[in-house]
Amino acid sequence: MQEILQLLQDNARMSIDDIAAMTKKSVDQVKQIIQKLEDDGIIVKYAAIVNPDKVLATRDRVRAVIEIQVTPEREHGFDAIAERIYRFPEVKSLNLMSGGYDLQVIIEGDSLQDVAFFVARKLSTINGVKSTKTHFVLKTYKENDVIYVDEKRDRREGVTA
Amino acid sequence: MNTRKDKFSQKIVDTPPSGIRKFFELIIGRDDIISLGVGEPDFSTPWVMREEAFYHLEKGHTSYTSNWGLQELRDGIADYLTKYHLSYDPKKEILITIGVSEAVDAVLRAILNPGDEIIICEPCYVSYQPLAALCETNLIHFDTSKSGFYPTAEELEKVITPKTKAIMLCSPSNPTGRMIPAAELEKIAELVKKHEIWVLSDEVYSELVYDDRKHCSIGSFPGMKPYTIVLNGFSKAFAMTGWRIGYLCCPDDLMQQVYKLHQYSTICAPIMSQYAAAEGLRSGKEEVEKMRVSYQQRRNLMYKAFTEMGLPVAEPDGAFYIFPDIRSTGLTSEDFATKLINEYKVAVVPGTVFGAGGEGFIRCCYATDINKLKIALERIGQMVDSLKM
């Protein structure tokens, strides 16, 4: 199961036939395992990883990492306030952190103003948010285990080996 | 122009060039050909090891090392080898060499006298025979193709004579990927002790074994250390082919002889490569395991595909080669490989290059991108089908 998950994490479009051949399992066995991975919510979705710098429509978009300090609520801790934040479609990811701040938000917008506006109007006004610190992303080198700037070329030469 | 007739060493003139090399010359500059020819990982060296080399270069650690190699590397190797139940003194029984290739050359020259016989289990890697031949020994080409591509003690004993000085083994094997089962290895060990011969055990693929198989070194059987030369290195499992780091482990008395050759011919292996290798032993385990799993998956794919094509093939236990039997196509290995390159644009190596028992087989290295492997398999399948009709 772990092996199939690993293969799909690396290439979600790998065919069931190939997975079966590579793991010495029958096609039906592989189908069952994938079904279970999906049913159990282990595989959440199959999506393409896109290099945003290469997509015309999105290459000028801005990304920002925002550090937020909050006052946790007596009954819900950080969860309720987190939910209020991650419901915004602008929010691409949200993590609860140890250290100098509480929530780390990654958001995307069409322009600097857009992002600044969102932080000022939406995030910082949420009840319990004490402070925000916005850092704009200048360049992404690696994300989701993929290095965007890598050259992929087989450099091996003919050799006696 | 020097017209002197004997201007070259006759021994070298008589040494044939590697058959692998010859095949590669056919594909130079041909981007349309998928090569299953190179016996080399398709991974770069894990980053931790590359980064370790940077660190030492930055610090200006660019000198020779001791002829033996860095002590920290030899200590690491001694420790690592205990997992194969091998015990070597890192001060005087382990020597760092320029790849396993240098180790093979040095040790053959250190043990062989003219007229000695060496049994070479074939098909095998292409350097064993010519290097042994340079020592003016008689090569006994021991064909393992009838017994699943590994030697059996029973058959080996038939070719042992009073002149037999050494046996050359490689398990897991290049070019077949087959392993010598531990029980058979134990019997071979008995034979070696009985006849008091050296066994050269090339274990460079020891880390790359599949399913639940475990690598077994012939040197690990009781009483075998005085007869065993263990050859291993970092090229394959650690994806370090270009760094050229191998090592040789043998008893002290033989090491004193090998050591002389090593110090005169190479002085020492490159220092930054040695630092990188030492780091690999410390923290490369996880990366090595990832690569191993990836090769195993590709082996499964290859084995299934060849079986479905109707080509009989012994399932590889390790390494990253598969050695299918193409005799049903009616072609020789060489003709098959040539036709495959010219008409179907896939490069493989004819089995004959690897010595006795190789005719009728081809070596395919599957350390290549999975999508390319699938295209290559499809093309091989088309050719096999066309020959059957």
pLDDT digits (tens, 9 = 90+) for B13-60: 999 888 777 777 777 778 889 999 988 999 999 999 999 999 999 999
- Inform me whether the pLDDT recorded for B389 exceeds 70: no
Under an 8 A CB cutoff, do A7 and B297 touch? yes
pLDDT of B107 higher than 70? yes
Contact A100, A59 (CB under 8 A): no
- Average pLDDT in the B343-366 region? 96
Closest residue, chain B, to A26 (C-alpha): B304
Distance CA A104, CA B200 (A): 59
Element (H, E) at B3: none
Residue pair B317/A41 in contact by the 8 Å Cβ criterion: no
**E strand or H helix that includes residue B346:** strand B346-347
pLDDT by residue (tens digit) across B184-199? Answer: 999 999 999 999 999 9
What residue of B is the nearest CA neighbor of A17? Answer: B301
Phi-psi region of B254 (alpha: psi -120 to 50; beta: other; left: phi over 0): alpha
In chain B, residues with a C-beta closer than 8 Å to the C-beta of A1 are none
Longest Cα separation, chain A? 70
How many other CB atoms are found less than 10 A from the CB of residue B6? 7
What pLDDT is stored for residue A148 in this prediction?
81
Per-residue pLDDT, A137: 92
In 3D space, the residue among B232, B287, B219 whose CA is nearest the CA of residue B77 turns out to be B232
- B-contacting residues of A 15-44, CB under 8 Å? 18, 21-24
State mean pLDDT over B223-230: 98
- Segment B291-339, tens digit of pLDDT: 999 999 999 999 999 999 999 999 999 999 999 999 999 999 999 999 9
The lowest-confidence range among A71-85, B287-301, B346-360, B374-388 is A71-85
Q: From B156, B170, B195, select the one nearest B101 (Cα to Cα).
A: B170
- Exposure string over B234-248, b if 16+ CB within 10 A, otherwise e: bbbbbbbbebbbbbb
Tell me the percentage of chain B whose pLDDT exceeds 70.
100
> What 8-state DSSP symbol labels residue B362?
E
CB within 8 Å of chain A, chain B residues 20-59? 20-21, 23-25, 27-28, 35, 37-40, 42
State which residues of chain A have pLDDT below 70. Answer: 150-151, 158, 160
C-beta of residue B122 within 8 angstroms of C-beta of residue B143: yes
Instruction: Check CB contact under 8 Å for A160 and B241.
Output: no
The answer to whether B127 faces chain A, any CB pair under 8 Å, is yes
Which pair of structure tokens corresponds to residue B246?
A: 């191998």
Q: Which residue, B377, B323, B376, B374, is CA-closest to B349?
A: B323
Identify all chain A residues contacting B27, using CB atoms and an 8 Å cutoff.
Answer: 158
B-chain CB neighbours of A24 within 8 Å are 300
Spatial neighbors of A11 by CB under 8 A, at least 6 apart, are none
Selection from B72, B136, B83 nearest residue B275 by Cα: B72
Q: Using CA coordinates, name the residue in chain A closest to B24.
A: A158
| Strand (E) or helix (H) holding B94 | strand B94-97
- Stated pTM of the model: 0.89
Which two three-digit tokens encode residue A88? 């915004």
Q: d(Cα B183, Cα B178) in Å, to the nearest integer? A: 15
| Least Cα separation, residue A52 to chain B (angstroms) | 25
Contact criterion met (CB < 8 Å) for A156 and B42 = yes
> Whose CA is closest to B135, among B162, B158, B105, B155?
B105
Gap from A78 CA to chain B (nearest CA, Å) = 36
Which candidate from B28, B40, B298 shows the least CB-CB separation from A156? B40
Which residues of B fall within a CB distance of 8 Å from A3? 293, 297
Q: What is the mean pLDDT of residues B203-218?
A: 97
Rounded to whole angstroms, how far apart are CA atoms B327 and B118? 30
pLDDT of residue B75: 98
CA–CA distance, B17 with B8 (Å, rounded to integer): 15
Per-chain mean pLDDT for chain B:
96
The residue-averaged pLDDT of B144-171 equals 97
pLDDT of residue A156: 74
Burial A27-48 (b: 16+ CB within 10 A, else e): eeebeebbeebeeeeebeeeee
What is the model's pLDDT at position B1? Answer: 86
pLDDT digits (tens, 9 = 90+) for B247-294: 999 999 999 999 999 999 999 999 999 999 999 999 999 999 999 999
